[in-house]
Structure 1
Amino acid sequence: MRAGSAGKGFTVVADEFRNLARKSVDVERILLSSLKKQYKWLSRALKLLISLHS
């Protein structure tokens, strides 16, 4: 009986680990998208400042 309980516990932990891994990938995609947008915005702002200074 104990091995069965341990097996169930392991399954629960493994499922949670998979769920966290999926969420981590989702968060990574969101952060990467946000960083790309910020980079584009900063790049445009820098170009504008350089053109105004010239």
Structure 2
Amino acid sequence: MVGDVLGAFGKLAPTGRQMGVFGAEFPLPDGGAGASEFDRLLALTGRDPGWRRP
């Protein structure tokens, strides 16, 4: 299921960035190799998958 959303957001990401909805893609270590689909989705939308509330 997350993989489906990841694929769709991959197509929508450039438009989302132009509209200010998504930030720049967050760089994942090793280019995302070994990252979960959910972490890759967060990174694609400009969010840090490792962020934790202080």
Common fold: TM-score over 0.5: no
TM-score scaled by length of structure 2 = 0.25
